[in-house]
Structure 1
Amino acid sequence: MTVRISTLDNGLRVVTDTLPHVETVTVGVWTDVGSSHEQEDQNGLSHMLEHMAFKGTKRRNARDIAEEVENVGGYLNAYTSREQTTYYARLLKEDLDLGVDVLSDILQFSTFDPKELERERGVIIQEIGQANDTPDDIVFDLMQEAAYPEQAAGRPILGTIERVSNFTRDDLASYMSHHYKADEMVLVAAGNLKHDELVDMAAKKFSAIERTRPDQKEEVVYKGGARLEDKDLEQVNLIFGFDGVSFDDPDYYTAQVMSMILGGGMSSRLFQEVRENRGLVYSIYSFNQSYVDGGTFAIHAGTGPDQVGELIPVVAGEMHKLTHEVSAEEVNRARNQMKAGMMMAFENTTNRMEHLGRQMMIHGRPVPREEILEKLDEVDGIAIARYMDRLLNGGKLSLGAIGPLSSLEEYDKVAARF
Structure 2
Amino acid sequence: MTSSEAARPAGGAARAVTRTLSDDPLGGTVRRTVLPSGLRVLTEAIPAMRSVSFGIWVAVGSRDETGPQAGAAHFLEHLLFKGTNKRGALEISSEIEAVGGETNAFTTKEYTCYYARVLDEDLPLAIDVMCDLVADSVLAAPDVETERGVILEEIAMHDDEPGDEVHDLFARAVYGDHPLGRLISGTDETVTPMTRRQIQSFYRRRYTAPQIVIAAAGNLDHAAVVKLVRQALRGTPLDTDPAVPAPHRSATPAVRTRPAATVVEPKETEQAHVILGCPGIDRLDERRFALGVLNNVLGGGMSSRLFQEIREQRGLAYSVYSYASQYADSGLFAVYAGCAPGKVDEVLDLTRAELARVAATGITEAELARGKGMSKGSFVLGLEDTGSRMSRLAKGELLYGNLMPVDELLARVDAVTLDDVNALAADLLGRPMSLAVVGPFDESAFAVR
| TM-score normalised by length of structure 1 | 0.95
Residue type matched to 2:301 in 1?
G
Any idea what the Cα deviations from partners look like across 1:21-80, whole Å, max 9, x if unmatched? 111000101100000111000111100100100000001000000000111111111000
**Residue 275 (structure 1) aligned with residue 302 (structure 2):** no
Match of residue 182, structure 1, among 184, 189, 209: 209
* CA distance in 2: counterparts of 1:221 and 1:231, whole angstroms: 30
Any idea what the Cα deviations from partners look like across 1:9-29, whole Å, max 9, x if unmatched? 000111011100111000101
Residue type matched to 1:227 in 2?
V
Aligned position for 1:355? 392
**Residue 386 (structure 1) aligned with residue 413 (structure 2):** no
What displacement does 1:408 show?
7.3
Any idea what the Cα deviations from partners look like across 1:216-255, whole Å, max 9, x if unmatched? 7996322242221122211211111211111110111111
What displacement does 1:206 show?
2.6
**Residue 21 (structure 1) aligned with residue 26 (structure 2):** no
Aligned position for 2:23? none
8 Å CA contact retained: 2:274, 2:338: yes
**Residue 101 (structure 1) aligned with residue 136 (structure 2):** no
Residue type matched to 1:49 in 2?
L
Aligned position for 1:416? none
* Structure 1, 203-212 or 284-293: larger mean CA deviation: 203-212
Q: How many pairs are equivalent? A: 412
* CA distance in 2: counterparts of 1:7 and 1:227, whole angstroms: 46
What displacement does 1:150 show?
1.1
What displacement does 1:203 show?
2.1
Residue type matched to 2:398 in 1?
M
Aligned position for 2:270? 234
**Residue 191 (structure 1) aligned with residue 245 (structure 2):** no
What displacement does 1:3 show?
0.8
Report SS of the residue matched to 2:193: coil
8 Å CA contact retained: 1:35, 1:81: yes
Aligned position for 1:220? 255
Match of residue 346, structure 1, among 371, 379, 383: 383
Residue type matched to 2:133 in 1?
I
Aligned CA-pair RMSD: 1.9
Aligned position for 1:202? 229
What displacement does 1:215 show?
12
Match of residue 367, structure 2, among 298, 318, 330: 330
8 Å CA contact retained: 2:139, 2:196: yes
8 Å CA contact retained: 2:247, 2:401: no
8 Å CA contact retained: 1:26, 1:189: yes
* CA distance in 1: counterparts of 2:257 and 2:405, whole angstroms: 31
* CA distance in 2: counterparts of 1:263 and 1:78, whole angstroms: 29
Identity %, equivalent residues: 37
Report SS of the residue matched to 2:448: helix
8 Å CA contact retained: 1:28, 1:189: yes
Residue type matched to 1:102 in 2?
V
* CA distance in 2: counterparts of 1:146 and 1:325, whole angstroms: 27
Residue type matched to 2:163 in 1?
D
Any idea what the Cα deviations from partners look like across 1:170-213, whole Å, max 9, x if unmatched? 11111011111111110000000001111112222234314578
Match of residue 264, structure 1, among 296, 300, 303: 300
8 Å CA contact retained: 2:262, 2:443: no
Match of residue 49, structure 1, among 70, 73, 76: 76
* Structure 1, 327-336 or 28-37: larger mean CA deviation: 327-336
Match of residue 368, structure 1, among 405, 414, 419: 405
Residue type matched to 2:325 in 1?
Q
**Residue 301 (structure 1) aligned with residue 328 (structure 2):** no
The answer for unaligned runs of 5 or more in structure 2 is 1-26
Q: 1:361 to 1:19 in 2, by over 3 A?
A: same
* CA distance in 1: counterparts of 2:310 and 2:231, whole angstroms: 57
Residue type matched to 1:356 in 2?
L
8 Å CA contact retained: 1:37, 1:216: no
Aligned position for 2:4? none
Q: 1:342 to 1:58 in 2, by over 3 A?
A: same
Aligned position for 2:117? 90
* CA distance in 1: counterparts of 2:249 and 2:420, whole angstroms: 34
* CA distance in 1: counterparts of 2:363 and 2:433, whole angstroms: 23
Aligned position for 1:164? 191
* CA distance in 2: counterparts of 1:247 and 1:139, whole angstroms: 23
* CA distance in 1: counterparts of 2:405 and 2:377, whole angstroms: 16
Aligned position for 1:412? 448
* CA distance in 2: counterparts of 1:31 and 1:328, whole angstroms: 42
Residue type matched to 1:124 in 2?
I
Residue type matched to 1:368 in 2?
P
* CA distance in 2: counterparts of 1:219 and 1:54, whole angstroms: 35
Any idea what the Cα deviations from partners look like across 1:274-319, whole Å, max 9, x if unmatched? 0111111010001110001110011111111221121111101111
Aligned position for 1:114? 141
The answer for unaligned runs of 5 or more in structure 1 is 414-418
Residue type matched to 2:212 in 1?
M
What displacement does 1:407 show?
9.5
Residue type matched to 2:86 in 1?
R
Q: 1:7 to 1:338 in 2, by over 3 A?
A: same
Aligned position for 1:146? 173
What displacement does 1:410 show?
3.3
Aligned position for 1:318? 354
